[in-house]
Amino acid sequence: MSTENRPPENLWVDKMSIDKATQVMLDNQEKSIWAIQKALPQINIVISKIYEKLKNNSKSRLIFAGAGSSARIGVQDAVELYPTFGWPKNRVGFMIAGGKEAITTSVEGAEDNIFDPHDIADEINLSSNDILIALAASGNTPFTRECLIQSNLKNSLSIAISNNKEGLILKEANHCIVLDTGYEIIAGSTRLKAATAQKICLNILSSMIMTKLGFVKNGLMTHFIPSNQKLKKRKIEVLKQIKKI
């Protein structure tokens, strides 16, 4: 698979000076932007599909599924929806290989477990109201694939995001996004540009969905939660600016 391929010998960072190696790593990270650019048509379709479902169903939730780095990126994007846009916490859910413990530590064998998704789906009451966004760099993670299978059994709207165009999860989803980032500069370490591309993709997806739902006006976050003094002042300024326009 492309995300597991070894970099060419002239790009082995362990053979380089720090200055050269960091430049090579940065250049390699730029490919995440190219992958997003190529996937924009797919991303735009997914934004429209999710927006329509959330707009027309007040019970719809965004459920993020994944293992390892992909799961953590999903969690990061999801938990920021409430403070940034005021999106209700009860309209976000998770299907994470290894459970909450896996957010901060590695849970051995969790990504290969194809039984846990059954229990998690029942536990969170996954249904046709929901939208499942499943991420896997390899596109072949057994846990993540099974989450999509459970999603389809529950008639949820299913989205697969894979950094491998041959990923098996792409066969299980209603809509797919391929972020073809290729090999990593440290072979197999998909916490690098594969993860960067996933983060950018989710940023664009969630931000545009929330914008379409009316949580952004004139480029301003109008529904963010003022949880500290800095944000309380910002909220006042935002409201003043909106009234002026």
Nearest to 1 by CA among 199, 196, 181, 198: 181
Active-site residue 111, yes or no? yes
Annotated catalytic residue, options 9, 30, 108, 111:
111
For the question of residue 108 being annotated catalytic, the response is no
Catalytic residue among 30, 80, 146, 237: 80
> In which element (H, E) is residue 94 found?
strand 92-96
Q: Rounded to whole angstroms, how far apart are CA atoms 18 and 116?
A: 43
Percent helix / strand / coil, the chain, rounded to 5? 55, 10, 30
Tokens read off for 82: 């409430």
Q: Which of 127, 134, 133 is nearest to 154 (CA)?
A: 127
Is the CB of residue 136 less than 8 Å from the CB of residue 109?
A: no
Angle of helix 193-210 relative to helix 68-79, nearest 10 degrees, comes to 30
234 burial level (CB within 10 Å; 0-12, 13-18, 19+): middle
Written as six digits, the tokens of 65 are 């599924």
Q: How far apart are CA 15 and CA 17, in angstroms?
A: 7
Residues annotated as catalytic are 80, 111
